[in-house]
Amino acid sequence: MSNAQEFLDLLKHSMEVSPEGYMKSYSGLATFFRAKYRPDWETGAPLDVALVGVPSDLGLTQRTGARHGPREIRNQSSNVLYYNPLLMMSPFGKLAVGDIGDVLIPSPFDLKLVAEAIESTYQRFVDRNIIPVSAGGDHSVTYPILKALGRKEPLGCIHIDAHLDLAGELNGTDLHHGCPFIKGSREGFIDPKRTVHIAIRDPYVLMETYGEEVGMTTINIDRFYDLGVDAVAAEARRIVGDGPTYISIDIDALDPAYAPGTGTPVVGGITSYEAKRLLHGLRGLNIVGADLVEVSPPFDSAGITSLAGAQLMFELLCLVVENRLRSQSIN
């Protein structure tokens, strides 16, 4: 980017806060990365990428609070600047990127209604060719997203998490936060052979052995460190290949020192640098959507979990924007 001023001029059109204000992280309503607030996304100017909050945490079984995730990630995202110095790109300026607000959660009491509302919203993104980058909410929000995005064609899936999330029905429902990838796979929205689980350290062997049977790959935390982060990224790229791919990050993939504010923390996770580097290693994949889930502000400390969540969501946004720009230039 040779001309900073030119870039700043471009930026003015993407930001909710005026150009004089966007350097001030405390100023103005908090939108994701201070992007334009676009509640009119269906009726207003076309949108390429939607930043979406999904404030539902009914799928949690232990510590709740992820419903407060979107607000606090928005708040902390003001501390993330508009330019990615390691990827040397900005997700703003060239595409229409907007914060469309939160998915309307119809009920805090009924997982089925919640899942339907999410699916329906994301179907409308698909219909308008808008790529969604989402902030949860708990991990149960991912299944209805996969359902909408993977309906035409099963997606590859890069899943970064402390837990495998291949659990079965619990207390009468299979829509809880431990199910998105088993349901997504069984129902054909993700392709198990193009699915990889990274940083896992939960008691997965007690879960159904579905993952192995259908050909998913698991890189548990020991393997993660034995391989090193760059090799893990390479392995993930190999697994998902060129097809449409979804990335889902559970913030509890990070160690509790980096992400105390989450519902089911597991000691012994990766660092935030490793998570960023891993994502940078996924450049060039055909990413058609992504989410960052399980940030639970009531259990956070000093906002560091929301800040880490915001940063990883920003990295996801960069990957998504880059892919869209590339595919546009091809077509």
Q: Which of residues 13-72 bind a copy of itself (CB under 8 A)?
A: 16-18, 20-21, 23-31, 37, 39, 53, 55, 57-58, 60-65, 67-68, 71
Minimum CB separation of residue 92 from a copy of itself in Å reads 12
Looking at the chain, which runs of residues are DSSP E strands? 36-37, 49-54, 97-102, 131-136, 155-160, 190-200, 217-220, 245-250, 287-293
Closest to 101 (Cα-Cα) out of 41, 184, 164: 41
Q: Is 1 in the site for a copy of itself (CB under 8 A)?
A: yes
Q: Which is nearer to a copy of itself, 29 or 45 (CB)?
A: 29
DSSP 28: S
183: three-class secondary structure by DSSP: helix
Q: How far is the CB of 306 from a copy of itself (least distance, A)?
A: 10
Q: Which of residues 239-278 bind a copy of itself (CB under 8 A)?
A: 255-258, 260-261, 264-273, 275-277
CB 164 within 8 A of CB 202: yes
**Residue (108 or 243) nearer to a copy of itself, CB:** 108
Contacts (Cβ under 8 Å, ≥6 apart) of 164: 181, 197, 200, 202, 204, 207, 211, 218
- Under the binding rule (CB under 8 A), the answer on residue 10 touching a copy of itself is no
Interface residue with a copy of itself among 307, 316, 319, 320 (CB under 8 A) is: 307
> 243 or 303, CB closer to a copy of itself?
303
Instruction: Give the span between the Cα atoms of 206 and 228, in whole angstroms.
Output: 27
Under rule CB under 8 A, residue 330 binds a copy of itself: no
Instruction: Please give the residues from 218 up to 237 whose contact with a copy of itself meets the rule CB under 8 A.
Output: 220-222, 225
* Span interacting with a copy of itself, options 40-48, 200-208, 232-240, 316-324, rule CB under 8 A: 200-208
Return the exposure string of 165-188: e unless at least 16 CB atoms fall within 10 Å of the residue's CB, then b.
bbbeeeeeebbbbbbbbbbbbeee
Nearer to a copy of itself, 209 or 327 (CB): 209
Q: Judged by CB, which is closer to a copy of itself: 49, or 288?
A: 49
Cβ closest to a copy of itself, residue 154 vs residue 178: 178
Q: Three-state SS for 155? A: strand
Report DSSP letters for 286-297, one per residue.
-EEEEEEE---G
**How far is residue 141's CA from residue 52's CA, in Å, rounded to a whole number?**
12
> What does the per-residue mask of binding to a copy of itself show for 113-132, with x meaning CB under 8 A?
x-------------------
If one asks whether residue 328 binds a copy of itself (CB under 8 A), the answer comes out as no
From the number of C-beta atoms within 10 Å of its C-beta (0-12, 13-18, 19+), residue 108 rates as: middle
Residue count at the site for a copy of itself (CB under 8 A)? 104
Contact with a copy of itself (CB under 8 A) among 251, 308, 316, 321? 308
